[in-house]
A and B are shown apart, each in its own frame.
Chain A
Amino acid sequence: MTSIPLYFRIPILIISLLLIWQGIYQFFGIPPYLLPSPISVFIAFKDNQALLWNAAFITFNETILGLILGCALGMALALLMSLIPFVRQWLMPIILISQSIPTFALAPLLVLWFGFGMNSKIVMAMIMIFFPVTSAFFDGLNRTPLGWIELGKTMNASPLRQLLFIRIPAALPAFASGLRIAAAIAPIGAVIGEWVGASSGLGFLMQNANSRFQTDLMFAALFLLSIMTICLWGTVTFSTKKLIPWAEDTQTF
């Protein structure tokens, strides 16, 4: 059976979910402060457009900066661990411990250390995404096909040039896998940071709406966050497919 393309599947999925949602809302007569109808969410979205787009822009900036810096950190750590066994032995347990701490528990500390502004949210996104990037890129660097390494050796290549021109390019498909995961979870990091302590952004908006029982506005913010995440993931997936066309596993969904 031919699979339906992603750009058709997503609208079909969204429309189906909205219909189910509207059906549940009407059938069970749920109060709007518990579960608003999709129509009231749409009205809330329309009435608060400026507020929502402004908040989304801030969250988007935090996410992108967190993604860039988190990727840079992840790549640097993976390279260091791959090149220096001593670093790998001492750094790996620290990285694993950092991932065992719930991000929500870290968020207040980060706000305390980096302030209510963008910095704490960027750091939060970085902490969330550096692990999948480090892990995937490190794996890629360590799984360079032996044949390429041997070819490099018979061509009298120095270890540094083998790294630059064989091992790093060979690890790019694995890095792309890590990057796709990172793109999907980076907005969560930024929103958690905003939720705990911020004066702007989608997380801040959601928390405010939640405390005022403006559930429809909260859902509108969530909807915008989902769209942002899908667009970011789609852009990363499309770019990696174009830039790394030889990667066999780029068709993930």
Chain B
Amino acid sequence: MSTAPTIYISNLRLDYKNKPVFSELNTSFTGGMFNILLGTSGVGKSSLLKMIAGLLPITQGEITSDHSEALSSQISYMAQQDLLMPWTTILQNVMIGSKLRKEKKEKTRALHILKQVGLDGAANQFPFQLSGGMRQRAALARTLYENRPVILMDEPFSALDSVTRSKMQEYTADLLKGKTVILITHDPFEACRLGENIQVLAGNPVQIYDIPPIEGTIPRHPEALNLQQAQAHLLNLLIEKNILQ
């Protein structure tokens, strides 16, 4: 049984400029799995993620987990921007959480993680000396260093070129195995490649649509027939149900 918690969303409401974006939203994100949340812009995906992370106040409804520990201490957050601090090295960026919490830095572990993401040679470089893909790998290393069971990812690869994005998807699937990952994406291909549990946030009123599970273990190979079929199936479903309108 996985130690990563399942997250439950119950009757959640989100208002933007005094108008409801969604209300009575109910869903769950399965523990230890890659949960993909698809949806169009402005539908409240990022806000939902921020509410789970405790960055936005909850006015109605609740977000709980099946662990007794407070959700805020179980979460690590990775945004679309790498959010690396430009004034310090990649190694120090990876260990920034320890510094911010006034904890002892685990340099050996940080270096090991950097090696895992293929950045062991860049430990003493500054973020502005790295390419976009390397910076995003450094951000992934920082997320891994936090060693939290829940990982929230808000379109983390959308700014990358397709080859780098594909590599990052592989790194992510390998290194975050066993954690509860909630990944937001616009990209049905990415959803099919990484999703063990795919949901779509869409419609009017906004609600959650569950997508039937896709076969195969992640990261699914781009050339695999089942991936292409799943992607076509997913797109058909979205169009048929008029979900993305």
A contact residues vs B (CB 8 Å cutoff) = 145, 147-148, 150-157, 161-162, 165-166, 169-170, 172, 244-246
Could you tell me the distance in whole angstroms from the C-beta of A136 to the nearest C-beta in chain B? Answer: 17
Interface positions of B from 62 to 90, Cβ below 8 Å from A: 72-73, 75-77, 79, 81, 83, 85-88
B86 lies within 8 A of A150 (CB) = no
Other than the given A150-B79, A154-B55, 5 more pairs (CB < 8 A) read A151-B79, A154-B72, A161-B100, A170-B85, A246-B128
Which residues from chain B contact A169 at a C-beta distance below 8 Å? 85, 87-88
Q: What is the total of A-B residue contacts with beta carbons within 8 Å?
A: 59
Partner of B53, one of A147, A154, A157: A154
Partner of B96, one of A155, A244, A245: A155
CB-CB nearest in chain A for B87: A169
Which residues from chain B contact A157 at a C-beta distance below 8 Å? 100-101
CB-CB nearest in chain A for B101: A156
Give the distance in Å from the alpha carbon of A162 to the alpha carbon of B77 in the complex.
16
B77 lies within 8 A of A165 (CB) = no
Give the distance in Å from the alpha carbon of A170 to the alpha carbon of B88 in the complex.
11
Which residues from chain A contact B79 at a C-beta distance below 8 Å? 147, 150-151
Q: A154 with B77: in contact, given A172-B87, A245-B128, A246-B126 (CB under 8 Å)?
A: yes
Give the distance in Å from the alpha carbon of A160 to the alpha carbon of B79 in the complex.
23
B101 lies within 8 A of A154 (CB) = no
A interface, by DSSP: helix, strand, loop or mixed? helix
Which residues from chain A contact B112 at a C-beta distance below 8 Å? none
Interface positions of B from 91 to 146, Cβ below 8 Å from A: 96-97, 99-102, 126-128, 146
A155 lies within 8 A of B146 (CB) = yes
CB-CB nearest in chain B for A147: B83
A151 lies within 8 A of B73 (CB) = no
Partner of B50, one of A150, A156, A161, A246: A150
Which residues from chain B contact A154 at a C-beta distance below 8 Å? 53-55, 72, 75-77
> Which 6 pairs of residues, A with B, have the shortest CB-CB distance?
A157-B100, A246-B86, A154-B77, A155-B97, A169-B87, A147-B83
Could you tell me the distance in whole angstroms from the C-beta of A149 to the nearest C-beta in chain B? Answer: 9
Give the distance in Å from the alpha carbon of A245 to the alpha carbon of B128 in the complex.
9
Partner of B85, one of A148, A156, A161, A244: A148
Q: A156 with B72: in contact, given A150-B55, A161-B102 (CB under 8 Å)?
A: yes
Could you tell me the distance in whole angstroms from the C-beta of B68 to the nearest C-beta in chain A? Answer: 17
Which residues from chain A contact B126 at a C-beta distance below 8 Å? 245-246
CB-CB nearest in chain A for B55: A150
CB-CB nearest in chain A for B100: A157
Could you tell me the distance in whole angstroms from the C-beta of A18 to the nearest C-beta in chain B? Answer: 41
B83 lies within 8 A of A148 (CB) = yes
Give the distance in Å from the alpha carbon of A154 to the alpha carbon of B96 in the complex.
12
Which residues from chain B contact A244 at a C-beta distance below 8 Å? 87
Partner of B101, one of A155, A166, A246: A155
Residue from A153, A154, A245, A246 whose CB has the most chain B CB atoms within 10 Å: A154
B87 lies within 8 A of A162 (CB) = no
Give the distance in Å from the alpha carbon of A175 to the alpha carbon of B69 in the complex.
41
CB-CB nearest in chain A for B50: A150
Which residues from chain A contact B87 at a C-beta distance below 8 Å? 169-170, 172, 244, 246
Which residues from chain A contact B128 at a C-beta distance below 8 Å? 245-246
